[in-house]
Amino acid sequence: MNELNILITFAGGLAAALVFGYIAHHLKIPPLVGYLLAGILVGPHTPGFVANREVAEQFAEIGVILLLFGIGLRFHLRELYAVWRVAVPGALIQSTMSTVTLMLLLYLMGWNWISGLILGMAISVASTVVMARVLAEWHDLHAQIGHIAIGWTVVEDILTVLMLLLLPIIFATGGTTSHSIGYVLGLAALKVAGLVAVVVVLGLWVIPWALERIEKTHSRELFTLAVLVLAVGIAVSSAKFFGVSMALGAFLAGLAVGRSDFAARAAGDAVPMRDAFAVLFFVSVGMLFDPRSLLQSPLAIVMVLVVVIIIKPLAAMLTARILGKPMMIAGPVGAAFSQVGEFSFILGVVALQLELLNDTGWNALVTASIISIALNPFIYRWARLRSTRVAKIPITQKARPRIEPNNCILVGYGPVGKIVYEILSERGTDVTVIDLNLDTVRRLRADGKKALYGDVLRPDTLDEAGIASAGRFILSTDVENAAEIIRQARLLNPDLKVLARCAHLRDAASLRHAGAEIVAAGEAEVGVALAEALADEDEMACGVTSANREAIRNALYDIPG
Q: Using CA atoms, how far apart are residues 176 and 41, in angstroms rounded to an integer?
A: 44
- Same domain? 301 vs 353: yes
Strands (E), 489-538: 497-502, 518-521
* Residue where one domain finishes, among candidates 363, 390, 417: 390
Q: Using CA atoms, how far apart are residues 92 and 291, in angstroms rounded to an integer?
A: 34
Residue segments in the chain with a per-residue pLDDT below the cut of 70: 1-2, 75-80, 161, 165, 169, 172-181, 184, 390-401, 535-549, 558-561
Q: Using CA atoms, how far apart are residues 242 and 247, in angstroms rounded to an integer?
A: 13
Q: Using CA atoms, how far apart are residues 333 and 338, in angstroms rounded to an integer?
A: 10
Burial class (CB in 10 A: 0-12, 13-18, 19+), 271: middle
Q: Is the Cα dihedral 443, 447, 453, 458 positive or negative?
A: negative
Which residues, other chains included, contact 332 with Cβ-Cβ below 8 Å and sequence gap of 6+?
138, 140, 145, 380, 383, 384, 387
- Same domain? 421 vs 274: no
Selection from 68, 375, 76 nearest residue 234 by Cα: 68
Residue 76 lies in a domain: yes
Residue 358 lies in a domain: yes
- Same domain? 261 vs 171: yes
* Residue where one domain finishes, among candidates 499, 516, 533: 516
Q: Using CA atoms, how far apart are residues 424 and 382, in angstroms rounded to an integer?
A: 43
- pLDDT tens, 50-108? 888 788 878 888 887 887 787 788 766 666 677 788 888 999 999 999 999 999 999 99
How many domains is the chain built from?
2
Alpha helices by DSSP H, listed for 259-358, are 263-287, 293-296, 298-306, 312-322, 327-336, 342-353
Selection from 31, 42, 59 nearest residue 280 by Cα: 59
Residue 314 lies in a domain: yes
Residue 9 lies in a domain: no
Type of residue numbered 249:
G
Q: What is the pLDDT of residue 354?
A: 85
Q: Using CA atoms, how far apart are residues 344 and 449, in angstroms rounded to an integer?
A: 46
Parent domain of 442: 404-516
Type of residue numbered 276:
A
Type of residue numbered 198:
V
- Same domain? 350 vs 419: no
Residue 26 lies in a domain: no
Cα-to-chain-centroid distance, residue 150? 11
- Same domain? 206 vs 95: yes
Tell me if the pTM is above 0.85: no
* Residue where one domain finishes, among candidates 365, 390, 415: 390
Residue 459 lies in a domain: yes
- Same domain? 360 vs 409: no
- Same domain? 253 vs 172: yes
Q: What is the pLDDT of residue 45?
A: 84
| Torsion from C-alpha of 227, 229, 231, 236, nearest 10 degrees | 180
Cβ atoms within 10 A of the Cβ of 441, count?
21
Residue 484 lies in a domain: yes
The CATH number of whichever domain residue 442 belongs to comes to 3.40.50.720
- Same domain? 177 vs 205: yes
Q: What is the CA radius of gyration of the chain?
A: 27
- Same domain? 461 vs 385: no
- Same domain? 362 vs 416: no
- Same domain? 452 vs 380: no
Q: Using CA atoms, how far apart are residues 34 and 53, in angstroms rounded to an integer?
A: 18
The CATH number of whichever domain residue 192 belongs to comes to 1.20.1530.20
- Same domain? 246 vs 277: yes
Q: What is the pLDDT of residue 525?
A: 84
Query: What SS3 state is found at 258?
Result: helix
H helix or E strand, kind and range, residue 475: strand 470-475
Residue 297 lies in a domain: yes
The full DSSP string for 386-428 is HHHHHTTPPP-SS--PPPEEEEEEEE--SHHHHHHHHHHHHTT
Q: What share of residues in the chain are helix, strand, coil (percent, to 5)?
A: 75, 5, 20
Residue 470 is classified by DSSP as E
Cα dist from 273 to 62, 66, 287, 477, whole Å: 9, 8, 22, 28
